[in-house]
Amino acid sequence: MKHLLSVDDLTSSDINSIFQLAHDVEELILAKSPKRGNDFVVASFFAEPSTRTRFSFERAIHWLGGKIITAADASASSSISKGESLKDTFRTLGQYADMIVFRHKDENWPDIADKYSRVPVINAGSGGKEHPTQALLDLYTIQKELGDVNGKSIMFCGDLMFGRTVHSLIKLLAKYDCKIFLCPATVIEGYTTTYYLDLPGYYAAEKAISQETAKKLLPEMDVVYMTRIQKERFSSDGCVIESLKLDKSGIDTMKSKSAILHPLPRNEEIAEEIDDDPRASYHERQVRNGLYIRIALMEYLLELR
Ligand code: NCD
């Protein structure tokens, strides 16, 4: 494996090795072991907003002993704003860095990176299409919270059309034996016909369920994966959107051993009143696992240690 551009790049053996490394990293960090003394440089290039992905990558690089070169807001401050192509951007970054962590609104940039980058590239978000490192940390979180992902029922709610974390995680879960339920948000006003924010056609193997049905199915779910509406990715001005909202009355019907995940940022889809419920993984454990997974992934790709 040279790059991580899509979850399609990951074999089961890659996933197992990365999870084993992440487990070891977590133990070292919890034991307050000093950072690893490596010597490498990563270009951290985020041309879309980010809090968790960017900060966890940069924290991970610090822990490993690497150095970061970056732009504060790459869409405005890099030469992309002067019309430079992504092809030329990758060619340039590869002259300065040993690895590139890249996020951009163009869904197809990973193909360009694959062709033109001479150093490994990690996809930190490609438009509304993929977010493979989030999928890895989500899968890792499910395994840690519930012991195993096989045999589990997992429900995805919210913007399944433009939610890249959903796309990558669903593809990754296809390697395991679990049952997927999809509860897409619906735009009930603002379009001429009701617009379902459902999985793009090429994923539509699973059938969508209504929000009413989803509520009734909550007691059977092992994992509920909530997402916000990606308003920046479609003309949503003046739209009225209905999306399942998870609150205390909903989670009171769920199993005591289940997990609520959200890639964050959260808008209105999760009521703050459930944040402290032991099944809510999103603010602490899921975010923290992102750090361990990203350290492990960089060790794996750069063959560090
Ligand atoms: C997500 C993203 O950027 O795709 N956040 C993240 O990376 N943790 C989800 C989102 O923006 O809604």
Sites in the chain below the pLDDT cut of 70: 205
Contact 110 CB / ligand 1 (< 6 Å): no
- CB of 151 closer than 8 Å to CB of 178: yes
Active site residue 52: yes
CA 56, 61, 64 angle in degrees (round to 5)?
A: 125
Q: Distance from the CA of 34 to the center of ligand 1, in angstroms? A: 30
The DSSP secondary-structure symbol of 205 reads T
Q: What is the pLDDT of residue 205?
A: 65
- Active-site choice (3, 54, 104, 131): 131
| Sheet strands side by side (includes 121-126) | 67-70, 41-46, 99-104, 121-126
Mean pLDDT of the chain: 96
Q: Distance from the CA of 196 to the center of ligand 1, in angstroms? A: 20
The DSSP secondary-structure symbol of 237 reads T
Distance between CA atoms of residues 203 and 193, nearest Å: 22
Kindly report, residue by residue over 214-264, the tens digit of the pLDDT.
999 999 999 999 999 999 999 999 999 999 999 999 999 999 999 999 999
Contact 263 CB / ligand 1 (< 6 Å): yes
Contact 228 CB / ligand 1 (< 6 Å): yes
Length of the chain: 305
pTM of the model: 0.97
Contact 134 CB / ligand 1 (< 6 Å): yes
State both tokens at 98: 């040993």
Ligand 1 nearest atom to the CA of residue 165, by list position = 4
Residue type, 208: A
Contact 165 CB / ligand 1 (< 6 Å): yes
